[in-house]
Each structure stands twice: as C-alpha cells, then as structure tokens.
Amino acid sequence: MIRTIKIGVICIVLCLISLPKLAAQEIKLKEYSFTEFFQMIEEEEDSVFRLSNAFLKFNKETDQKFILTFELNKPFNLKSANEDSIRIDKALELTNIVIESFATATPEFLLFGLGKVVFSKPVQCTNCINFMVTQSTFNSTITFKYNRQIRDLALILPPILPPSLYICSSNFQSGLVISSGSTQVFSQFNSVTDKRSLHLTSFENVISANKEKKERVAILGSVFQTILFNKNVVEGSANLTISSEPAETQNESNGRLFGLEINENEFNVPITNLRFDDQNTDLVTMKGNRWSGLILTSISELDRINTLIDGASLSEKLIDEETYKGYILPRLDEMQLRQADFYSQKDLDNYRQKQMIEDVNFYNSEVALRGLFKNYFDSRHDATSANQFYIEIKDLETRRLAYLYHQNPTFDGFFKWRINQFLKLFSAYGTEPAKAVTFSVYVIIAFAFIYLFFPNHWDSHGKDRILHRYQFFFKYLNKDAGMHDVYLEDKQDELAHYNGFKNFFIENGKTVPKFFLATALPLYRWSIASTKTTSWFLQKIDIFKGKWVDLPTPQRAVKTTLLIFTFVIALLYDVFIKMLNALMLSINTFTTLGFGEIPIKGLPRYLAIIQGFIGWFMLTIFSVSLISQLLN
C-alpha cells in the first residue's frame, strides 16, 4: 500500500514538471520582422489592428531603424536609431506577442525595440514579452495585461535575458495601466531563482491621466519579479497605483518580488496608492521622489536590511489605506459602492481634518503607521527622518488633545494640550535644541527692550549721562577755555579726592617705610591716568579755542561740524552702553533671576519675575532636549 502511494506521488510530480513544456509546445508563434509588423498595421482596413501568437524577430536587412542604443552616461537609457517618427492611427490589440529584444551572435550587444513611434489610438497588450519602447508617444490609453499564458510564452524564450517590459523616455498622454487579469498569474513560477520571470523597467517617462475621462495610472506588480520605476513624471487628476502585493487573497501565492525600485520620480497627482508587501519583497528602494499629493499605503514592516527609504519625501504625506477604507466603506450602500469615488477631495479632507483625530481607532492606526517609519529610520541611524515622523506623531497627538479638551474641558486636559503646543514651538518636541536657543534669544531681546526704558542699578547714570553731554558742550561753546579745561572742571571733585590722597601720603610718608610711599605714588598716577589721557587728547583735537559766537564764520562752521560729529559719537556711545546694560540685565534675569536680587524698579520688576520663570522653564526643556539628542 505504501509503495503504491509513493509511485503515485512520483507520477504526479513528473506530470507537474512536464506541464510547462507541454503547455509551451501548444503555443505556436508566427514570425514577423519589425518592418512587416508595421506594414500589416498600415494595410489593415479595419480601425482596429489585432495580432495574436506572433514573434517579432529582427531582420538586419530591413530593421536597422529599430536598433536601440545605450547612452554611456545614462545607464538603462535607450535611444532609437530611427530618424523619423512612425505614426499609427489604428487601435492595437496585441495578444501573446514575443519580441526579439537582443542579439549576442556578434561581438556587439544589440537591442531591438520600438523607437519614436506615435500611437494615436488605444493600445492593449496582453502577454506581450520583451516589449521595448523608447522616445514614443501614446495619445490614448495603453494597457498591459498578463494572465497565466505568460508563463508558457516565457518558457519559449532562451534563458539568456529575462523577459521584460521596458519603457523609456516616452510620453503617455492618457494614462498607463499595467496589471494582471488573474491573481494566480505566475503561481509557483515567479520566484527569485527563475530567470524567466517578468521584469518591469520604466525610466524618464511622462505619464498623464485625467480622472474625468476615466483614464488611469496603475502599475500592479504581482506578475513581476522586479519593478524599476525611476525618474518618471506622473501628472494629472487621476490617481496612481503602484502595487507589489503578491495576491488579492491570502490563500493564493504569486511568488516573491525580487526588487522594487521607485526612485527620483515626480508624482504630481492627488493620490498615490503605494502598496507593497515587504515580507514578500526581497529589495525595496524608494529614494529621491517628490510627491505633491497624498500617499495611501499599507505596509506591514520596514525593519529589514534590504529596505531603503528616504523620509524627507514621505513626511506629511502618508495615510493608512486600510484605515481609510474602514472610514469610507461603511458610508456607502451597494449602489454608491459601484459608482463611488473613494478618494474624493471632500472625503480625504474630512478624514484628515476630523475623523482620524476624533475616532480613536483611526487615530491609533495612523500613529502606528508613522511609528513604523520612525522605528525604521531609528534602526538606520537616520535621526533626521526619524525626527520628522516623531514630529508628525506628536502633531497628531496635539490635535487629539485639543479635541479631547473641547469634549471635556479640564485643567489637566488644557495643560497637556498647551504644553504640547509650546514644545512644538520651542524645540519641535525636543528634536531641535538649537530652536530652543533661538527662541530664548527672542525672549531675552524682547525683555531687554522693555528694560531699556526704565532705570536699573546697573545703569546708575541712565538718562543723566545724556543730559550731562549736553551740559558739557554748552559750557565749552560759551567759554574761552579749551575743551580739556571744561573736561577737567567737571572732573575737579574727582581730581581733588585723588590729590588729597596724594598730599596725605606725601606728608606722612616720611615716618613710614619707603615701601608704602614707593607703591602709593604709582597707584595715584594709575588712578588719574584715564582723566589725564582724556584731557591730553581733547587738548590736541581742540583746534578752535574761544567762544563759538566770537569765531569768524568759516571757523564757526567748521567747529560746528566737528562738534556735532563728536556729540553724535558720544551720544551713540551712551545709548550703546544703556542698551548693553538692558541686555545684560535681561540675560541675567533669564538665566539666574538676578542672583536672588532684582536690580530694577517699577513695573519691570514684576516682569523680571515672569522672565525668570520663563527662563527657568525654557532652559530646563533645552537641557532635556539636548541630552535626548546626545543619547540618540
């Protein structure tokens, strides 16, 4: 009995192994050259050209213009050898078409494909392998579909070059759809080790689509082993879908996606549906993209070593797709479901501005999605991107705290809400300590401006200093004495004090050790050095002595100009000293609250207490933010 079962199992396995070869033998492809292919299209009398089960083979005598060449400075970028554009005014329906795309029989490596072709009508390609198109224009929608027969067609090809769909430097004016007609395409066939799996490469194309015209932009990758979607421009009012999900149902498997690259593209569309199963994809790269609209995504994990994503392009763009469906679907009955625009701007705005904040389940899902990206960037030691998503999480938290407070006003709720707002403004939730320093400088300058108009102990002269300047110049202009004489007159009390000190130790120095007299005289000279130096300088620059009114008119004009200039310089110096005192007072109050003493009077005395509290609070947060960043 056991032996019979073993024999039966072996027979079944052998049958399964031979199935691909048998299926491949059932498909017979008729050969055409590239030139013959376009001649058949031109000779077709119907408005639609249909072709099935064909192999387009390069003919070196007639198909020279279908040679594609590389540009060495632009990897993967192809240029057509065709000088003039080929225009096709018929709709195309191509099924089971295999195109010869390369030749290695000669020392040269040649590629063949469609270059500089203008397709005026819709193009539908079902199971088209090695479809290479460059520098072409599609004025209507082009659709690539794949079903199970793609496997049989791929087995026909020699395993030198994997079957591909390659689109480069082309313009799609009415959308682009790449999809599979069955979720079971490539079941147990599209694997990493199977080099005959389909590859998608899209470089430097412009893809446009209009929602009103029902045009679509969709790239569904369940049939592909690799998807390279780089340096394209996608624009229009229709939504874009890029998917690498292996199957629509959990009990069907389409194999693994070996690589997914979405790099340096411009997505100028309202919504991009970005779906990929990270657990079923070996390499995921999304870098350098620019998204003008929102990104609806459903991602399970990102913390594997072969996932490379930049955070700057995704920040403030993400919406959890499954959560959004949970919001939109219950609101639609069966009739509405058939005609619904799931991603209308009204519904998206309502979800983002209201529902994702008010509904705790939606809120938790959106926070979890951003937490997934934050943890990913933390694991990559990309602090900048991790901080961006942390700030997004805290922004959502702040909005929810505001909602909860308005639902149930309490002091605790109000404090949590406002403290989050303050932390966002002051230090971006602790992620930017430098921002805290900048904000502190603003506070110090604002309070210094207030202190400038009030007297304080540090600025003992205050406005009297400026009044003294006026008094000094009035005396000088109305006296015959020089400027240095007026200056010494004002310093008479100070000089008398020092002279009395000098006379005292000279008179009494004879009865004390000479050491004291020898050191006291230099001290006296140092004490009056500043006054003497200033007096000497004023004497040298005073070129017109005497009363101002007695001077000749030319000398009076010169003296007036010089004195006004000197007065302005002195006045600016006084103002600078006053501003400096106000600034130092503000810094001192902000950092230490005046060492226990508040050196100011009047209303600013109470403002100083408030500033001291603000400074204590801000410096504490700054310290915590700085330590947090250092630890990270």
Instruction: Quickly list DSSP for 28-50.
Output: -PEEEEHHHHHHHHHH--SSEEE
DSSP of 569-582: HHHHHHHHHHHHHH
Domain borders along the chain are 47-309, 463-613
End-to-end CA distance of the chain: 66
pLDDT in tens, 196-214: 677 888 899 999 888 777 7
Burial per residue of 325-364, b for 16 or more beta-carbon CB atoms within 10 angstroms, e otherwise: eebbeeeeeeeeeeeeebbeeebbeebeeebbbebeebbe
Is the per-residue pLDDT at 244 higher than 50? yes
Is the per-residue pLDDT at 251 higher than 90? no
Residue pair 241/220 in contact by the 8 Å Cβ criterion: yes
Confidence grade of residue 595 (pLDDT, cut at 50, 70, 90): low
Q: Mean pLDDT over residues 426-448, rounded?
A: 86
Is the per-residue pLDDT at 552 higher than 60? yes
Q: Mean pLDDT over residues 15-23, rounded?
A: 35
Tell me the C-alpha distance between 144 and 230, whole Å. Answer: 19
pLDDT in tens, 83-133: 778 899 999 999 988 888 776 555 566 788 888 899 999 999 988 888 888
Which letter does DSSP use for residue 618 in this model? Answer: H
**pTM for this entry:** 0.71
Q: Mean pLDDT over residues 374-387, rounded?
A: 87
Residue 358 confidence (pLDDT): 92
pLDDT in tens, 558-581: 777 777 887 788 778 878 888 888
Counting Cβ atoms within 10 Å, is residue 605 exposed (0-12), middle (13-18) or buried (19+)?
middle
Residue 257 confidence (pLDDT): 63
